[in-house]
Amino acid sequence: MSSLTGTVRLIRFTLRRDRVSLPVWVLAIALSVLGSVASFAETYPEAADRQARAGVLEGGAATLFVGPGYGTDDYTFGAMTANEMLPMTAIAVALMSIFLVVRHTRAEEESGRTELVRATVTGRHASTAATLIVVGGANVLVFAILATGLPSSLEGLSSSGSVAFAAALLGVGLVFTGIAAFVAQLTVGARSAIGISTMVMGALYLLRSVGDITGSFLTWLSPFGWALEMKSYVDERWWPLALPLVATAALVTAAIAIGARRDVGAGIIGDRAGAAEGSRWLGTPFGLALRLQRGSLIAWGASLFLLGLLYGGIAQEASSLYEDIEALDDYLARVGGGDAADQFIALSAFISALIAVGFAIQSALRLRVEEAALRAEPVLATPVGRRRWAQSHLAVALIGSTVLLLLLGLGLGVSRAISADDAGQLPRLTGTTLAYAPALWVFVGLAAALFGIAPRLASVSWAFLALIAFVGFIGPMLQVPDWLYDLSPLEHISRLPAADLNVMPVFVLTALAAALVALGLVAFRRRDLAT
């Protein structure tokens, strides 16, 4: 029997399992790029508007986050697409590759399903090969959609530049497919594999940032740097594409070599020995829930704090660039009047709060994860009741989302206070972001209610977030009706600091969140537990 026996059957099985998530990943990435690019002509119709936009890329903060900014002397739609869409899309492609690879490799071993599959007529490397082929195929599909769709989405985007743009993303996706496959051989848990892989992703992006700021060779040590160095739409270079192909081949070879020498379910990095006795805090439901989610909370908190630092630091410069762009009038009208820098901060706080909703939903749905993984049943077999167990995870979601907004506000306040030489900006902007807390609590309540009433539909919370994100970003351009905006709890919060605070929506949203959480807890007590 060959080590690849059964690969084709496992590919079909993987595609069957991911018949929903795989198309969602691919289409979400591809359509978000195509939709954003299609809006450039309306948002920046004149060359002067685009050239003003290019001025943002000349600062150190912009270089840190999006790269050196090629083609800014003549900022065409192609240069705008390459500079502003490629870095963030590359991160999305990397995350897609990491999550899909770990889901079908280390997570399967951790659950014990890999051992059952290996007990059949299946080769040792068939599972890894099937995963690599499926995830690689997903990246190729993103490449194909963008390479063919970009030229037709916006006049002025060349076919060769579109192929280079899509190929740069393909290279990043393949590298992180290899990284995730390699890391999955090292750890014994799926969460550890995802954590290490995303940390590597962050380190490589930071490496690219430092290299671009200092003009050093460090850029060439990062797949994100390789993608930017292809200079799509500006001065296409094809030879950097060889670097991700070589790196992917080396990573996959190393992963296969390690997989051939270790036991199924084991990893090179063993579990760290814990304390002989757990703390009293860990013996409580809330302490356990916080311990399970502390890594996620730290990662989200650090990201939003850094995002706040960026937005606060460039508020004055960025606001002066969009004041004369007529296409942004609809967005600014929803923000309100006032100082231009306050308008920018209000818009940035809204976008960042929308990002923080992701943690609120993820944290609340940890209840569903624990129940589906059959870890809730042993806990509930102790004197811990259902209500107390569910309340502990929801408390982490409610308190954690508030902490994220606090960190976001601190980031905005610190950088704005330094740039404006005004210490009063710190408490002012911290309060700005905390005003969104009741809106985030509503999302926690929605996830809790769905978990209690129909746990299989709990993921609808993510669909709701996708809907309001689409309406929030694309709605002003499509002139959607006001009732679609009103579906979002975030839309009912005053756009501080550009507008005055209206306290009534804050009380209403808080009451709605409390009602949804209570509904979820009551429904959970009355339904059967997954066993």
**CA 63/CA 48 separation, integer angstroms:** 21
Q: What is the mean pLDDT of residues 15-26?
A: 86
Output the average pLDDT for the chain.
83
**CA 107/CA 265 separation, integer angstroms:** 10
**CA 71/CA 79 separation, integer angstroms:** 6
Give the pair of three-digit tokens for residue 277. Answer: 């006795």
- pLDDT for position 57: 64
Q: How confident is the model at residue 517 (pLDDT cuts 50, 70, 90)?
A: very high
Distances from the Cα of 214 to the Cαs of 55, 56, 228, 235, 518, in angstroms? 19, 18, 16, 22, 54
Q: How confident is the model at residue 327 (pLDDT cuts 50, 70, 90)?
A: very low
Q: What is the mean pLDDT of residues 411-439?
A: 86
Percent of residues, the chain, with pLDDT higher than 70: 88
> In sequence order, what are the residues at sequence separation of 6 or more whose Cβ sits closer than 8 angstroms to the Cβ of residue 420?
316, 341
Residue 312's nearest CA partner among 424, 410, 389, 221 is 410
Q: At what angle do helices 159-184 and 242-259 cross, to 10 degrees?
A: 20
Q: What is the mean pLDDT of residues 458-477?
A: 74
Distances from the Cα of 16 to the Cαs of 9, 100, 456, 474, in angstroms? 11, 14, 18, 32
- pLDDT for position 390: 92
- pLDDT for position 115: 77
> In sequence order, what are the residues at sequence separation of 6 or more whose Cβ sits closer than 8 angstroms to the Cβ of residue 169?
86, 89, 90, 93, 139, 142, 143, 146, 227
Q: How confident is the model at residue 430 (pLDDT cuts 50, 70, 90)?
A: confident
Q: How confident is the model at residue 479 (pLDDT cuts 50, 70, 90)?
A: low
- pLDDT for position 330: 53
Give the pair of three-digit tokens for residue 388. Answer: 């107390």
Higher-confidence residue of 461 and 514: namely 514
**CA 460/CA 463 separation, integer angstroms:** 5
Give the pair of three-digit tokens for residue 47. Answer: 């060359």
> In sequence order, what are the residues at sequence separation of 6 or more whose Cβ sits closer than 8 angstroms to the Cβ of residue 455?
368, 371, 372, 527, 530
pLDDT in tens, 228-277: 899 888 888 899 999 999 999 999 999 988 887 776 766 666 656 666 67
Question: Which range is least confidently modeled, 119-123, 364-368, 503-507?
Answer: 119-123
Q: How many CB atoms lie within 10 A of CB 229?
A: 20
- pLDDT for position 297: 87
Q: What is the mean pLDDT of residues 114-137?
A: 85
Q: What is the mean pLDDT of residues 283-295?
A: 85
Task: Measure CA 435 to chain center.
Answer: 23
Q: How confident is the model at residue 59 (pLDDT cuts 50, 70, 90)?
A: low
Residue 420 has pLDDT above 90, yes or no: no
pLDDT in tens, 340-365: 777 778 888 888 888 889 889 989 98
Per DSSP, the residues of 189-214 read SHHHHHHHHHHHHHHHHHHHHHHHHH
| Greatest alpha-carbon span in the chain | 73
Q: How confident is the model at residue 482 (pLDDT cuts 50, 70, 90)?
A: confident
Residue 278 has pLDDT above 80, yes or no: no
Higher-confidence residue of 398 and 337: namely 398
Residue 51's nearest CA partner among 67, 74, 82 is 74
Residue 418 has pLDDT above 80, yes or no: yes
pLDDT in tens, 67-77: 777 877 888 88
Residue 132 has pLDDT above 80, yes or no: yes
> In sequence order, what are the residues at sequence separation of 6 or more whose Cβ sits closer than 8 angstroms to the Cβ of residue 48?
none
- pLDDT for position 473: 62
Q: Can you say whether residue 374 is alpha, beta or left, with left for phi > 0 and alpha for psi between -120 and 50 degrees?
A: left
Residue 477's nearest CA partner among 40, 46, 54, 77 is 40
- pLDDT for position 516: 95
Strand locations in 451-528 (E): none
Q: What is the mean pLDDT of residues 498-511?
A: 89
| Half-sphere exposure in the Cβ direction for 513 (13 Å, CA) | 24
- pLDDT for position 36: 79
pLDDT in tens, 179-210: 999 988 888 777 778 878 887 888 888 788 77
pLDDT in tens, 363-375: 998 898 888 878 8
- pLDDT for position 58: 63
Q: How confident is the model at residue 480 (pLDDT cuts 50, 70, 90)?
A: low
Give the pair of three-digit tokens for residue 407. Answer: 């960190």
**CA 180/CA 427 separation, integer angstroms:** 41
- pLDDT for position 329: 52
Q: How confident is the model at residue 140 (pLDDT cuts 50, 70, 90)?
A: very high
**Cα radius of gyration rounded to whole Å, the chain:** 24
Residue pair 178/255 in contact (Cβ under 8 Å)? The answer is: yes
